[in-house]
Amino acid sequence: MSEQQRKRLESETMALQKLQKEYSTLVASRQKLDSQLQENTLVSNEFKLLNDGARVYKMIGPVLVPQDKAEATANVDKRLEYITDELGRIEKRIAQQAKEQEEKSVEIFKLQMDIQGISKA
Amino acid sequence: MSTADAKPQTINLEDLPLPQLHKIKAQLEEEMDGLTTAFSHMKQAQATFRECTNCIDALTPDCQDKTILVPLTSSLYVPGKLSNIDSVVIDIGTGYYVEKPKADAVTYYNSKMDYVQANAKAIQDTVEQKQASYRGLLEIMQYKITQQQQATAEKASASK
């Protein structure tokens, strides 16, 4: 095994590890967004069931502040929109990262094959 | 639950080498662990909702104008009087609260319980599925290991 090849394998492995780390942070943030989406959808559904005269409060710090129902509904819907956008964006990045990771592993595998072939010869 | 493992897989497990089977086994174990934790969270949530309905039931007309202690912090209480026993304020999530009559509040909690129950059922089904494939995987691994041992034993006796 030549020094050059060994160095290259090392750096490629490091790169793969970095990719894997980035990937897991992406997945974690997707999970977080997912649960936020769930919660906001539930709240939005609940708002739909309420009649217009219902008294809605928002927790600001330790106090409950009365809020207009229409305003609260609009607020939650806007949040839903934002979260869905964000989820789509992250989903795309996850797909891209997965592809990059796969390419890297193939590269590393090839490199290992090369090294083994040489050490056997 | 997760979308990543939903891709169609028609690889025959028996064709895979042992190290890969080990990897699959670890993955399955992790998935089952996660699902089981989720399941217990669901059960906890359900218990909380049930507790809430019980509390609402405890608010009978007899309670009108009764003195109560209102917790300001976990260790400081001030005396108060129950003036309204007809409606309660419910936390519906993301910092929003809604005032509802008692009957509506009970309906709300019941629908929540049903929702959680449906999810818990789905998780349970998935866990059972995973367990079935896990058992299958273990069998195949066992078979592979015995085969490998036989092969090495034959090799050893042949080289004598």
Residue A89: give its domain's CATH number: 1.10.287.370
Domain regions of chain B by residue span: 23-152
pTM, two decimals, is 0.74
Which chain A residues touch B95 with a CB distance below 8 Å? 58-60
pLDDT band at A1 (very low <50, low <70, confident <90, very high): low
Counted domains in chain A: 1
Domain that holds residue A102: 3-120
Position B4 scores a pLDDT of 44
Q: Which residues 34-63 on chain A approach chain B with CB closer than 8 angstroms?
A: 39-40, 42-43, 46, 50, 54-60
Cβ(B144)–Cβ(B21) under 8 Å? yes
Position A113 scores a pLDDT of 87
CATH of domain B23-152: 1.10.287.370
pLDDT tens profile A69-116 = 999 999 999 999 999 999 999 999 999 999 999 999 999 999 888 888
Buried residues in A76-90 as b, exposed as e (16+ CB within 10 A): beebbeebeeebeeb
User: Cα-flanking dihedrals φ and ψ of residue B97, to 5°?
Assistant: -130, 145
Cβ(A121)–Cβ(A54) under 8 Å? no
ipTM above 0.90, yes or no: no
What value does the mean pLDDT take over residues B138-156?
A: 90
| A83 in reach of chain B (CB within 8 A) | no
Token pair, residue B89, equals: 């304020």
Q: Residue holding tokens 């492995």?
A: A13
pLDDT tens profile B108-136 = 999 999 999 999 999 999 999 999 999 99
Q: What count of CB pairs under 8 Å joins A to B?
A: 44
Position B9 scores a pLDDT of 55
